[in-house]
Chains A and B, each alone.
Chain A
Amino acid sequence: MKELKISVKNLYLKYGEKTALDDISMDITSKQVTAFIGPSGCGKSTFLRVLNRMNDLIDNCSITGEVLIDGIDIYDKNLDVVNLRKRIGMVFQKSNLFPKTIFENIVFGPRLNGVNDKNTLNEIVEKTCRQAAIWDEVKDRLNEPALSLSGGQQQRLCIARALAVEPDILLMDEPASALDPISTAKIEELIHELKKNYTIVIVTHNMQQAARVSDYTAFFYMGKLIEIDKTTRIFTKPSVKQTEDYITGRFG
């Protein structure tokens, strides 16, 4: 049975006077992969950042509407934003590992939560690296600089780092856009594996990727949510003309 994880109602986001997100409402299902597609500048990445309140950091950005996770309004003034971000994993377009060792990168989050016990940290590193399917590649070099890894490995390490804070939602902002096809395939395989335990939202500019990895697909255009539906439906018989045009490559 499919259950609900995130519910967004009538969300508007403005940078100063400019409306970047225009009346977005959608539900995101638990332990499924939801893909956001659309031409660049359509607001899909901005919307992803609404879900863990990363836009709070941007000057003159104002948000109205309701975002519920587990039924909790995450824009409630009294909510602990830092805790929220701790509990939602985020993976970015380009790998952004810190210039520290592989080990220190992964335990950065747990350390923030006050975990300092060496054994516990070791367990976390092994567990998350296995989950991110990178354990075999890094287990003998945990104390080497993380930046010595290849691009694809770095991105999987970013995923491991995000998993280390024990989230149940994983937000991915074009995680494979800077990678070669083989690394991309590995990431996609990983996403399949991870959805058993995590609710995953992925932004992608690559429609084939959305078709391959996601259960639901949302199409954004010019700050508006045009359509959200089961991926199979979106790619076979979308109900809105604009979606069809985009998917068949007539624009964007």
Chain B
Amino acid sequence: MTENILPRHQFEVSPENSHYSKKIVRSARIKETLIKSYFAAAGTAALIFIILIFIFLFKEGINAFNNIGLSDFIYGTRTMEDGTVKTVYEWYPTSENARYSLLPLLLGTLLTAIPATLISTVLGVAAGIYLSEIAHPKAKEFLKPVLELFAAIPTVVLGFIMLVIGATFFQDLLHPANRLNAFVASVGLTLVIIPVIASLTEDALRSIPMDLRNAAYGLGATKWQTISKVILPAAFSGVSASIILGFGRAIGETMIVLMASGNAANFTMEIFRSARTMTATIAAEMGEVSQGSDHYYALFFIGVVLFVITFFLNLIAEMIISKMRKKNTF
């Protein structure tokens, strides 16, 4: 046995005289526990607010169903001049015979968000590829902050530019049915989404291990072949997450669509006509409704719909990203 090899001795210092014997002071322990509890409480802030947002939107939004039926949020009826009753898809809450169909708003949202996401995907992914794979490291150090500046421009500024410059430019170029229309708004939206997609794409590409690039080059692939055949497919999930997040941003963006879409709640697929999104509806009408009216609750209900849609888009993107991280750590 090992311990027997050393002769056992007495302890040099007796326990009574040792300065290690100090027992923990109760107040010190309580102090550390209190501090820890404070931080633990603060740590829940984000979670608490997410829950509170849901509760308080839902609490007001659910009241919409007091007088408005679920079907009313889809279609309504209107008595025509000749006395016939017609089924209509209209958002017209201020009418005497108020109509609350969300379909034109949903359509308006998609009509601005989808083209915006498509354009932004091309430009944003390209920008991400450029920063991660093509730009000289020195240039990148300077250009990445430029992209951040792009993302930092307030949306009201972009909305303003689309309103006074963009709309006129596209009016002269394309002669749309309305000067302010879904297309102008979606071009404005791309300015918000491109930086989102670009920076997340850059992250996703950068996380691809260097080995993979070296392997491709080692096999004689050119730079573009390496990017298109090896790196982009490997980063596919990350890039798609960035597009989903960009789409979420496009759906949730308010100021640009409020200022540039024309705000007419048309039930139409025509991109060059005025459109009205869910966000713009809340923004434009909330200030003027009386608290506790059906219209007021209906606007909160739109808020619930918006929150739920963006929440799930974010969740999906996050799941894809965390899966990607796990995969790349091996």
Contacts and interface: CB of A to CB of B under 8 A. Distances in A.
B11 interface: yes
Name the residue among A69, A70, A79 with the largest chain B CB count within 10 angstroms. Answer: A70
Nearest to A28: B6
A225 B12 contact: no
B163 to A, nearest CB: 50
A148 to B, nearest CB: 27
B5 interface: yes
A216 B6 contact: yes
Interface string B172-214: 0000000000000000000000000000000000000000000
Interface residues of B, number: 23
A30 B11 CA distance: 8
Interface stretch (B21-29, B35-43, B305-313): B21-29
Interface string B100-125: 00000000000000000000000000
B138 interface: no
B15 interface: yes
Nearest to A224: B2
Interface in B1-15: 2-3, 5-15
Nearest to B5: A229
Given A27-B6, A29-B6, A87-B19, A80 B24 contact: yes
Nearest to A228: B2
B15 to A, nearest CB: 4
Interface in A145-174: none
Given A74-B20, A78-B23, A84-B20, A25 B2 contact: yes
Given A4-B10, A4-B12, A72-B15, A80 B3 contact: no
B7 to A, nearest CB: 8
Given A3-B10, A4-B11, A4-B12, A72 B20 contact: yes
Contacts of B13: 70
A12 to B, nearest CB: 16
A80 B25 contact: yes
B18 A25 contact: no
Given A78-B23, A80-B24, A228-B2, A70 B9 contact: no
A57 to B, nearest CB: 13
Contact of A29 (B2, B9, B28): B9
A16 interface: no
A204 to B, nearest CB: 19
A2 interface: yes
A26 interface: yes
A239 interface: yes
A239 B4 CA distance: 12
Contacts of A84: 20, 22
B24 A228 contact: no
Contacts of B19: 83, 87
Contacts of A222: none
A83 B23 CA distance: 9
B101 to A, nearest CB: 54
Nearest to B7: A2
A81 interface: yes
A74 B6 CA distance: 22
**Sorted from nearest, which 3 A-B pairs have the closest CB atoms?**
A70-B18, A3-B12, A30-B12
7 contacts: A2-B7, A3-B11, A29-B6, A68-B11, A79-B22, A83-B20, A228-B2
Interface of B: 2-3, 5-15, 17-25, 28
Given A87-B20, A226-B2, 9 more contacts: A2-B9, A3-B10, A5-B11, A71-B11, A80-B23, A83-B22, A84-B22, A228-B2, A228-B5
